[in-house]
């Protein structure tokens, strides 16, 4: 089958893109540079992060996610479009299936924003998976067994703790405080 399948860890600080059969293909900062004159994307990822604090007033460098959720839908969609195209190429016929990890504690509206942004950015279908479940799977934990596996996921914008068993989350807790806040406190 020629259809590409992507796994995207859409984090407050970084985005990781996994391509089935290839592994982690991209790991870039969740940063976008936008021209304020015409609202066009100037740069995304590493290139945009390198512009932080070094741009003229006509260019805004922004992080479209805050505390693990979409803070700016349009910029998030543009960022996802950039990463999807970078992973699968510019051919409009190649629309991948995308699975995106989201914090377990997000609301249905916040989840819908991520799913819609991915589909508008070029995904044929977009699925969401809770970050603790994705982390447990990625760490190789036996998530399909009837035993509890504790996962603590400290991201840039959220911290989540969960017990995973039988391919699901049994109990969890999520706070919208992560590594960024810890860095600021230091």
Q: What local confidence, expressed as pLDDT, does residue 48 receive?
A: 97
Q: What local confidence, expressed as pLDDT, does residue 51 receive?
A: 96
Q: Domain residues of the chain, as ranges?
A: 5-134
Structure tokens at 125: 């279908």
Count of beta carbons in the 10 Å neighbourhood of residue 133: 21
First to last CA, the chain: 49
Q: What local confidence, expressed as pLDDT, does residue 68 receive?
A: 83
Is residue 19 exposed (0-12), middle (13-18) or buried (19+ Cβ within 10 Å)? middle
Which residues in the chain come in under a pLDDT of 70? 1-2
pTM over 0.85: yes
CA 31 to each of CA 64, 67, 136: distance values in angstroms, whole numbers, following the listed order: 7, 14, 26
CATH 3.40.50.300 fits 5-134, yes or no: no
Per DSSP, the three-state class of 83 is: helix
């Amino acid at each position: 089958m020629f259809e590409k399948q992507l796994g995207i860890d859409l984090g407050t600080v970084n985005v990781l893109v996994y391509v089935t059969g290839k592994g982690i293909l991209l790991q870039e900062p969740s940063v976008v540079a936008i021209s304020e004159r015409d609202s066009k994307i100037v740069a995304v990822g590493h290139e945009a992060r390198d512009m932080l604090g070094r741009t003229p007033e006509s260019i805004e460098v922004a992080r479209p996610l805050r505390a693990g959720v979409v803070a700016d839908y349009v910029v998030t969609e543009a960022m996802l479009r950039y990463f999807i195209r970078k992973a699968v190429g510019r051919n409009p016929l190649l629309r991948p299936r995308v699975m995106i990890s989201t914090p377990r504690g997000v609301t249905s509206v916040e989840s819908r924003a991520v799913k819609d942004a991915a589909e508008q950015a070029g995904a044929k279908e977009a699925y969401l998976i809770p970050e603790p479940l994705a982390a447990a799977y990625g760490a190789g934990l036996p998530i399909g067994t009837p035993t509890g596996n504790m996962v603590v996921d400290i991201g840039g914008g959220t911290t989540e703790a969960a017990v995973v068993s039988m391919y699901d989350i049994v109990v969890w807790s999520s706070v919208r405080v992560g590594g960024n806040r810890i860095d600021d406190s230091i």
